[in-house]
Amino acid sequence: MIAGIDLGTTHSLIGVMDSGFPILIADESGARLTPSVVHFPEDGATLVGRNAAALLASAPERTVFSVKRLMGLRKDEVADDFPFAIGAAPSGEAGVCIDDTVLLPEEIAAQILMKLKSDAERATGGVVDRAVITVPAYFNDAQRSATKRAGELAGISVERILSEPTAAALAYGLDRLGESSRVAVYDLGGGTFDISILELNQGMFEVKSTHGDTHLGGDDLDRATRDWLAATLQRDVPREEARACKEALSIAEDILIDGKMITRSDLDGVWLPIIERTRSHCAQAVFDAGIEFGDLDAVILVGGATRMPTVRQFVAGLFQREPDCSQHPDEAVAIGAVIQAGIIEGGVRDVTLLDVTPLSLGIETFGGLMNILIPRNTTIPVKRGEMFTNAVGNQASMQINVLQGEREMARDNWKLGTFDLAFNPAPKGQARVGVQFEIDANGILHVLARDIATGAEHVVQIESAVNVSDASVEQMVGDSVEHAFADMSERIFTETRIKAEEMIPAIDTALEKMGSAIPEAERTRITALVADVKAAIKNENTQRLKKLLTELDDATQDLATLLLESLMND
Partner 1 sequence: MDISSLPEFDPFSMLGMERRPWLSADAILTAFRDRARRLHPDAPNGSASEFAQLTAARDLVLNPASRLKHLAEFHADCPGGSGPTTSPVAADLGFEIGSTVRHAEQLLAASEGKSGLDRALAIHAVKSSDLRMEELETQTAQLLRDLEFDTQALDAAWPERGTTHDLISLSNRWQYAQRWHDQVRKARFNIKSWLPQRMQSATQESIKR
- Assess whether 499 carries a catalytic annotation: no
Q: Which is nearer to partner 1, 387 or 528 (CB)?
A: 387
Is the Cα dihedral 330, 334, 339, 343 positive or negative?
positive
Rounded CA-CA distance 86/2 in Å is: 34
Question: Are 385 and 436 contacting, i.e. CB atoms less than 8 angstroms apart?
Answer: yes
With respect to partner 1, which residue has the nearer C-beta, 426 or 441?
A: 441
Distance CA 529, CA 535 (A): 10
* Residue 6 a catalytic site member: yes
Residue 484 Cβ vs partner 1, minimum distance, rounded to whole Å: 5
Least spacing, CB of residue 566 vs partner 1, in Å: 27
141, 187, 206, 470: the catalytic one is 187
Smallest gap from Cβ 562 to partner 1, in A, equals: 26
Minimum separation from the CB atom of position 379 to partner 1 (A) = 5
Interaction site with partner 1 (CB under 8 A):
201-204, 280, 283-284, 287, 343-344, 346, 352-354, 379, 381-387, 434-436, 438, 440-441, 450, 452, 481-482, 484-486, 488-489
Residue 83, preceding bond cis, omega within 30 degrees? Answer: no
Dihedral of CA 367/475/355/116: which sign? positive
Are 153 and 110 in contact by the 8 Å Cβ rule? The answer is yes
State how beta strands 86-88 and 432-439 pair. unpaired
**Comparison of 89 and 177: residue with beta carbon closer to partner 1:** 177
Compute the least distance from the CB of residue 3 to partner 1, in Å.
16
Nearer to partner 1, 95 or 405 (CB): 405
What's the min distance (Å) between Cβ of 287 and partner 1?
5
> Active site residue: 27, 164, 194, 199, which one?
164
CB of 377 to partner 1, least distance (A): 12
CB of 275 to partner 1, least distance (A): 16
Distance CA 408, CA 369 (A): 6
Do residues 404 and 141 make contact, with C-beta atoms less than 8 angstroms apart?
A: yes
Inter-residue contact 7 to 147 (CB < 8 Å): yes
Helical H runs in 401-450? none
Q: How far apart are CA 197 and CA 208, in angstroms?
A: 6
Length of the chain, please? 570
The catalytic position among 6, 77, 355, 470 is: 6
- What are the DSSP calls for 258-315, one per residue? TTEEEEHHHHHHHHHHHHHTHHHHHHHHHHHTT--GGG-SEEEEESGGGGSHHHHHHH
Q: Are 155 and 271 in contact (CB under 8 A)?
A: no
Separation of alpha carbons 17 and 340, rounded Å: 10
Q: Which is nearer to partner 1, 284 or 327 (CB)?
A: 284
> In sequence order, what are the residues at sequence separation of 6 or more whose Cβ sits closer than 8 angstroms to the Cβ of residue 354?
204, 205, 206, 207, 379
Catalytic residue among 27, 68, 474, 490: 68
Q: Which is nearer to partner 1, 31 or 354 (CB)?
A: 354
Write b or e for each residue in 148-177: b if 16 or more Cβ atoms lie within 10 A of its Cβ, otherwise e: bbbbebbebebbbbbbbbbbbbbbbbbeee
* Cβ-based nearer residue to partner 1, 20 or 346: 346
Pairing of strands 352-354, 204-213: parallel
Helix (H) or strand (E) holding 510: helix 470-514
CB closer to partner 1, 259 vs 346: 346
Task: Report, as residue numbers or ranges, the catalytic residues.
Answer: 6, 68, 164, 187
